[in-house]
Amino acid sequence: MSRIGKAPVAIPDGVTVDRVGDEIRVKGPKGSLSERMPDSIDITIENSEIVFERPDNRRNNRELHGLARALVANMVHGVTQPFVKELEIQGIGYRAEVDAKVLKLNVGYSHPVDMPIPEGLKVSVDRNVFVRIEGASVQKVGQFAANIRSVRPPEPYKGKGIRYLGERVRRKVGKAGVAAV
């Protein structure tokens, strides 16, 4: 049996979970989320817990069992306290700023890169080089952080670029010059 799928998800106070057809809707103080669940997984809501059961031990059902439980657990966590990703911009002249619902990045191109902020996310910039992304959906937060990082990933020679806070970039040595003969 799936070790992840068999663990029930506790519903904290202030959070409501409803099942409408094949969709789970979670509402809490930080927002509301909904996700379509696999048909083969039986989901029951009882006594402030959500229990997941699968019909048999076929590989596909085992995979979906853990997936369904992880998705609902992330939704319950996200509506109580938001998920956070932090990025750091390194490089001379590299900076970011938030203007209305657009994140503007100046990262060495001849033009600033404008990235519209998705609905449900809150983006803040500290000291022009630290970008903080908050939101109830772990998928939206992670995807937007990855999109920002892909604008200018850190390069291995000087380390310039956009990286996750705390990410270590393996540095390479540059040209060695002319070898002594």
pLDDT at 2 over 90: no
**Mean pLDDT (whole number) for 85-114:** 96
Q: Which of 160, 167, 174 is nearest to 89 (CA)?
A: 160
Radius of gyration of the chain (CA): 22
Q: Which CATH number fits domain 9-80: 3.90.1150.10, 3.40.50.720, 3.40.50.1220, 3.90.930.12?
A: 3.90.930.12
pTM of the predicted structure, to 2 decimals: 0.90
Class for the domain spanning 83-164: alpha beta
Asked if 144 and 110 count as a contact pair (C-beta separation under 8 A), the reply is no
What is d(CA 37, CA 35) in angstroms, rounded to the nearest whole number? 6
Asked if 24 and 75 count as a contact pair (C-beta separation under 8 A), the reply is yes
139-169 tens-digit pLDDT? 999 999 999 999 999 999 999 999 999 999 9
What is d(CA 161, CA 140) in angstroms, rounded to the nearest whole number? 22
With residue 33 as reference, give the H or E element that holds it: strand 31-36
What is the per-residue burial (b if ≥16 Cβ within 10 Å, else e) of 37-76? bbeebebebeeeebbbebeeeeeebeebbbbbbebbbbbb
What is d(CA 139, CA 126) in angstroms, rounded to the nearest whole number? 23
pLDDT at 23 over 60: yes
pLDDT for res 8: 95
Asked if 144 and 94 count as a contact pair (C-beta separation under 8 A), the reply is no
Domain span(s) for CATH 3.90.930.12 in the chain: 9-80, 83-164
What is the per-residue burial (b if ≥16 Cβ within 10 Å, else e) of 167-177? eebeeeeeeee
* Percent of the chain with pLDDT strictly greater than 70: 96
